[in-house]
């Protein structure tokens, strides 16, 4: 089990690093597009590429953000109930979230498959095959669904979830 735990933790960390790289790519795309405008050149498809990078950054960051406690949790009810009720509510919330995430993954993989099968390309100037950025989004969604399921199983078997707030974290429970 320690090997599985270590593998999952590395997966979540790598996903967060890839999200960070996607954010840097957005910055670079914007800077290159600005320089191109200043020099009278055209960078076709820059906005589309930035959009793809934003989708990648968002979906790849979900699992890492969950593990670090960066998602917003409304815990007014959780703070008002006892430990047994808190465990039941947490379990229900993680179960519903995991089901929704896996439902999204199920339909997103169909979406990627059909985009690949029909060779669907972007309507923008970039003419990118859409299954490529959609696959990155799907990968992030799968990792997030795995993370939610991981937290749910950990909660069911140990009584607590694995969300760890890091010191200096700016988000908080309300």
Residue pLDDT, tens place only, 25-51: 999 999 999 999 999 998 888 889 999
pLDDT digits (tens, 9 = 90+) for 52-104: 999 999 999 999 999 888 877 767 887 889 989 989 999 999 999 999 999 99
Residue 18 domain flag: yes
Structure tokens at 81: 């109930």
Read off the pTM: 0.86
Residue 107 domain flag: yes
Residue 95 domain flag: yes
Q: Given a cut of 50, is residue 163 above it in pLDDT?
A: yes
Q: According to the model, what pLDDT value does residue 144 have?
A: 97
* Residues with Cβ within 8 Å of residue 164, at least 6 apart in sequence: 67, 68, 69
Q: According to the model, what pLDDT value does residue 165 have?
A: 67
CA distance 96 to 90: 10
Q: According to the model, what pLDDT value does residue 168 have?
A: 46
Confidence tier at 166 by pLDDT (50, 70, 90)? low
Residue 97 domain flag: yes
Residue 81 dihedral angles phi and psi, to the nearest 5°: -110, 170
Q: Given a cut of 90, is residue 173 above it in pLDDT?
A: no
Report the number of distinct structural domains present in the chain.
1
CA distance 114 to 18: 26
Q: Hey, what's the torsion of the CAs at 48, 53, 58, 64, to 10 degrees?
A: 170
Residue 106 domain flag: yes
Domain that holds residue 117: 2-158
Confidence tier at 171 by pLDDT (50, 70, 90)? very low
Residue 169 domain flag: no
Q: Given a cut of 50, is residue 172 above it in pLDDT?
A: no
- The three-state secondary structure class of 121 is strand
Q: According to the model, what pLDDT value does residue 125 have?
A: 81
CA distance 51 to 81: 43
Residue 171 domain flag: no
Return the closest-CA partner of residue 152 out of 106, 100, 116: 100
Confidence tier at 174 by pLDDT (50, 70, 90)? very low
Confidence tier at 126 by pLDDT (50, 70, 90)? confident
């Amino acid at each position: 089990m320690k090997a599985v735990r270590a593998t999952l933790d590395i997966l979540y960390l790598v996903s967060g690093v890839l999200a960070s790289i996607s954010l840097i790519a957005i910055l670079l795309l914007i800077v290159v597009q600005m320089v191109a405008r200043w020099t009278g050149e055209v960078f076709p498809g820059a906005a589309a590429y930035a959009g793809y990078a934003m989708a990648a950054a968002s979906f790849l960051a979900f699992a890492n953000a969950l593990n670090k406690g960066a998602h917003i949790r409304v815990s007014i009810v959780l703070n008002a109930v006892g430990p047994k009720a808190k465990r039941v509510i947490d379990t229900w919330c993680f179960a519903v979230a995991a089901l929704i995430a896996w439902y999204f993954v199920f339909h997103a993989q169909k979406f990627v498959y059909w985009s690949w099968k029909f060779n669907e390309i972007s309507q923008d100037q970039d003419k990118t095959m859409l299954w490529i950025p959609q696959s990155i989004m799907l990968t992030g969604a799968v990792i997030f669904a795995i993370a939610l399921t991981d937290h749910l199983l950990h909660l069911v078997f140990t009584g607590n979830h694995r969300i760890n707030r890091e010191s200096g974290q700016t988000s908080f429970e309300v």
